[in-house]
C-alpha cells in the first residue's frame, strides 16, 4: 500500500483543479508530516475517485494542492447500511469507525425503548468517519444520519432492503437455536441462502430490544432475525461481527 | 439472561463448599450491588461449570459464599487460539476483551519484525479476560501467555493446528485476490472447505509482516493465508473479523 498521505476533501476533483487545504489539513501535511512544495499527496472526495496531487503552495495554516492524475476510479461499493442504538460515547465512536472500515454506506443511529443515550453529535461522528475512510483506503464516505426513533425508521423502510436483526436474546435464551419458538438462526446460515441486494444490519442497545419491538420486527417480511453465537456479545462487538459476516457472505469480501 | 451477578473465582467448586471473596469481589457485591446475606450470586472457575451460590457472610472487605447447585455444566468450547502482535495499550486491551467474547481459548502475544510494542503486562490482560468472561457468560477463561518471538511460536507449532494467517498486504495489493502471485484468498472461501479441528488466527502489527516473515509463513503446511476484504483494516478490527468468520464457519456459532 502507498505511503503517500491520503486526504478527504469536499471539493469536486478535476484535472488541474487547485484544492484549498483547511487549516487542519495544512497543519497535518506541513507540520506533522513536514511536506513541502511539490511533495505528493493523494485526495478523494467520495465521488470522483482517488487522485494524485502535489503541494503547490505552503502557507502558515492553509495551502493549495494541484490535481495531477486520477489513480483509482470511483468504485461502486455494495450498499450496506448500519442501524444501531447509540451507546456510551467511546463505544459509539468505535462502532462508527469500524463500520467505516467494514464498508457501510450509511449509518443511522436509532432510538429504541432501552437506548441509554439519545444524544449523538453527528458532526463529531462525521469527523471519525472521514478519518477512518482516509485510513482504510476507501473512496467513499458513509453518510451519518441524525438519530431517529426505530419505529420511524421502520415506518419509511424500503422493503427491497433486507434488515438483518441481531436478536441476541431471542425468544428464550435457554432454547436451542433455529426453532420457531427458539432463538433465531445463526447469521451465517440465515444469510448464505439470500440473493445479493440491498441490506442493513440492526444492532440494539446493551439491554436488548423490548418484547414489543422484537415482535414487531419479526412480523416484517424484510426482517431477518439472526443470532451471533452462544456467548453474550457487547453491542459494539455484535456490530463488527455482523458487518463482517455480511461482507464475507454477501458483500465485497468475496473474490473479485 | 439472568440478572444474578456472575463472578469468576479461582477455587474448586463442589456442593456446599465455602468460597472466600477477594476484597475486590466483596466491594463489588456489597458496596456496588448492595447485596446482603442470603442473596444469590453465580460463580464459575473455568473448570467446574456455573454454580448458584448465596452470600453467607458479609465483612468489610471480604466475605463468604456457599455453593448450592450446579446450574450449567462445564461445556467443551471449540479450541481456537489467537496470536497477535501487541498494539498500543488500549488496542491490545480491546483485542484481548473481544477475543474473550468471541470464544478463544488461548491468547499468545507474538513479537514480529515490525511490532511496535514488546511490553505486555500479562497480569493486566488476565484481569481484562476475567471481566470479559464474566460478562459474556462463558464458563472458561482464555489463557494469556507471555509474549514470545513469532518464530519461536512457529518453531514449536503443533502441526495439527491450522494457523489462519491474516495477510492484509499480500504479495501485491494491486493484484486481484486468489492468484498464485496475487493476494491470498478471501478468508470465508479459504476456511469453508476445511474440516473441523484445532485452529489459531494470526494477526500482524499495524505495519504488516516483513517479506521474510510472509515467505516463511507461506511455506508452512499448516498455514492458511487469507485476506479480509478490499479495505485496509486496523489490526484490532482484523482480529475481531477473523475470529468472527472462524466461529461462524468452523466454530461454535453454528446451530447446535
Model confidence at B47, pLDDT cuts 50, 70, 90, reads confident
For residues B49-71, average pLDDT: 92
Q: Which residues pair with A211 in a beta bridge?
A: none
Given a contact cutoff of 8 angstroms between Cβ atoms, the answer to whether B228 and A245 are in contact is no
Cα–Cα distance measured from residue A25 to residue A234, given in angstroms and rounded to the nearest whole number: 35
> Residue A207: what pLDDT?
83
| Residue B70: closest CA among B92, B48, B93, B40 | B48
Nearest to A254 among B135, B137, B186 (CB): B186
Mean predicted lDDT score pLDDT of chain A: 89
Task: Check B240 against A240: CB less than 8 A apart.
Answer: yes
Task: Check B253 against A187: CB less than 8 A apart.
Answer: yes
> Residue B173: what pLDDT?
56
> Residue B142: what pLDDT?
94
> Residue B111 above 90 pLDDT?
yes
Among A38-42, A71-75, A120-124, the minimum mean pLDDT is found in: A71-75
Given a contact cutoff of 8 angstroms between Cβ atoms, the answer to whether B212 and A82 are in contact is no
Q: How far is A103 from chain B (nearest CA, A)?
A: 8
Given a contact cutoff of 8 angstroms between Cβ atoms, the answer to whether A198 and A250 are in contact is no
Q: A144 in helix, strand or coil? A: strand
What chain A residue is nearest to B175 in terms of C-alpha separation?
Answer: A256
> Residue B42 above 90 pLDDT?
yes
What chain A residue is nearest to B98 in terms of C-alpha separation?
Answer: A237
For residues A224-235, average pLDDT: 91
More confident residue, B162 or B119: B162
Q: B125 in helix, strand or coil? A: helix
Question: Which three three-digit cell numbers place residue B151?
Answer: 518464530
> Residue B1 above 50 pLDDT?
no
> Residue A89: what pLDDT?
83
Given a contact cutoff of 8 angstroms between Cβ atoms, the answer to whether A206 and A87 are in contact is yes
Task: Check A241 against B237: CB less than 8 A apart.
Answer: no
Nearest to A248 among B138, B169, B188 (CB): B188
Residue A5 CB partners (closer than 8 Å, separation 6+): A28, A29, A33, A35, A41, A42
| Residue A19: closest CA among A48, A142, A126 | A48
Cα–Cα distance measured from residue A100 to residue A134, given in angstroms and rounded to the nearest whole number: 10
Given a contact cutoff of 8 angstroms between Cβ atoms, the answer to whether B55 and B39 are in contact is yes
DSSP assignments along A13-25, one per residue: --TT-EEEPPHHH
Residues of B with Cβ-Cβ distance to A254 under 8 angstroms: 186, 188-189
Question: Which three three-digit cell numbers place residue A219?
Answer: 412480523
Radius of gyration over every alpha carbon of chain A, rounded to an integer in angstroms: 21
* Domains contained in chain B, CATH given: 6-72 (2.40.240.20), 80-249 (3.40.1280.10)
Q: How far is B60 from chain A (nearest CA, A)?
A: 32
Task: Check A101 against B233: CB less than 8 A apart.
Answer: yes
Nearest to B1 among A173, A229, A245 (CB): A173
| Residue B47: closest CA among B19, B73, B20 | B73
> Residue B193: what pLDDT?
84
> Residue B68 above 70 pLDDT?
yes
Task: Check B240 against A244: CB less than 8 A apart.
Answer: yes
For residues A148-159, average pLDDT: 94
- State what percent of residues in chain A have pLDDT above 90: 62
Task: Check B98 against A136: CB less than 8 A apart.
Answer: no
DSSP assignments along B137-199, one per residue: T-SS-PEEPPPEEHHHHHHT--TTSEEEEE-SS-S-TTSPBTSSSSBPEEHHHHHHTSPS--E
> Residue A176: what pLDDT?
57
> Residue A92: what pLDDT?
94
pLDDT in tens, B212-240: 898 899 889 999 999 999 888 999 999 99
Other residues' Cβ atoms within 10 Å of the Cβ of residue A11: 14
Cell 493486566 belongs to residue: B124
Q: Which residues pair with A223 in a beta bridge?
A: A163
Cell 432501552 belongs to residue: A114
For residues A4-32, average pLDDT: 91
Q: B85 in helix, strand or coil? A: coil
> Residue A76 above 70 pLDDT?
no
What chain B residue is nearest to A99 in terms of C-alpha separation?
Answer: B237
Nearest to B232 among A1, A244, A247 (CB): A1
More confident residue, A195 or A86: A86
Given a contact cutoff of 8 angstroms between Cβ atoms, the answer to whether A203 and A85 are in contact is yes
Residues of A with Cβ-Cβ distance to B204 under 8 angstroms: none
> Residue A1: what pLDDT?
44
Three-state secondary structure string covering B75-102:
CCCCCEEEEECCCCHHHHHHHHHHHHHC
Residue B211 CB partners (closer than 8 Å, separation 6+): none
Helix pair angle (A235-249, A89-101), 10° resolution: 10
> Residue B138: what pLDDT?
86
Task: Check A232 against B177: CB less than 8 A apart.
Answer: no
> Residue A16: what pLDDT?
83
Nearest to A229 among B187, B233, B253 (CB): B253
Given a contact cutoff of 8 angstroms between Cβ atoms, the answer to whether A69 and A48 are in contact is no
Amino acid at each position: 500500500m502507498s505511503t503517500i498521505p491520503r486526504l478527504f476533501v469536499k471539493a469536486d476533483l478535476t484535472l488541474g483543479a487547485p484544492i484549498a487545504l483547511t487549516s487542519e489539513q495544512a497543519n497535518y501535511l506541513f507540520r506533522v508530516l513536514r511536506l513541502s512544495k511539490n511533495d505528493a499527496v493523494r485526495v478523494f472526495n467520495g465521488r470522483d475517485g482517488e487522485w494524485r496531487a502535489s503541494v503547490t503552495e505552503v502557507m502558515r495554516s492553509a495551502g493549495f494542492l494541484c490535481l495531477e492524475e486520477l489513480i483509482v476510479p470511483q468504485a461502486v461499493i455494495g450498499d450496506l447500511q448500519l442501524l444501531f442504538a447509540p451507546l456510551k460515547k467511546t463505544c459509539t465512536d468505535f462502532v462508527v469507525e469500524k463500520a467505516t472500515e467494514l464498508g457501510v454506506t450509511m449509518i443511522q443511529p436509532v432510538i429504541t425503548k432501552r437506548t441509554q443515550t439519545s444524544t449523538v453529535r453527528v458532526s463529531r461522528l462525521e469527523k471519525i468517519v472521514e478519518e477512518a475512510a482516509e485510513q482504510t483506503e476507501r473512496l467513499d464516505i458513509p453518510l451519518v444520519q441524525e438519530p431517529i426513533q426505530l419505529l420511524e425508521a421502520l415506518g419509511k423502510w424500503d422493503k427491497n432492503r433486507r434488515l438483518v436483526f441481531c436478536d441476541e436474546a431471542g425468544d428464550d435464551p435457554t432454547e436451542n437455536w433455529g426453532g420457531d419458538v427458539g432463538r433465531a438462526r445463526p447469521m451465517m446460515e440465515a444469510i448464505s441462502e439470500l440473493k445479493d441486494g440491498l441490506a442493513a444490519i440492526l444492532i440494539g442497545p446493551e439491554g436488548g430490544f423490548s418484547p414489543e419491538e422484537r415482535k414487531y420486527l419479526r412480523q416484517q417480511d424484510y426482517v431477518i432475525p439472526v443470532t451471533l453465537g452462544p456467548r453474550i456479545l457487547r453491542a459494539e462487538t455484535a456490530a463488527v461481527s455482523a458487518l463482517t459476516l455480511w461482507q464475507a457472505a454477501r458483500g465485497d469480501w468475496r473474490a473479485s
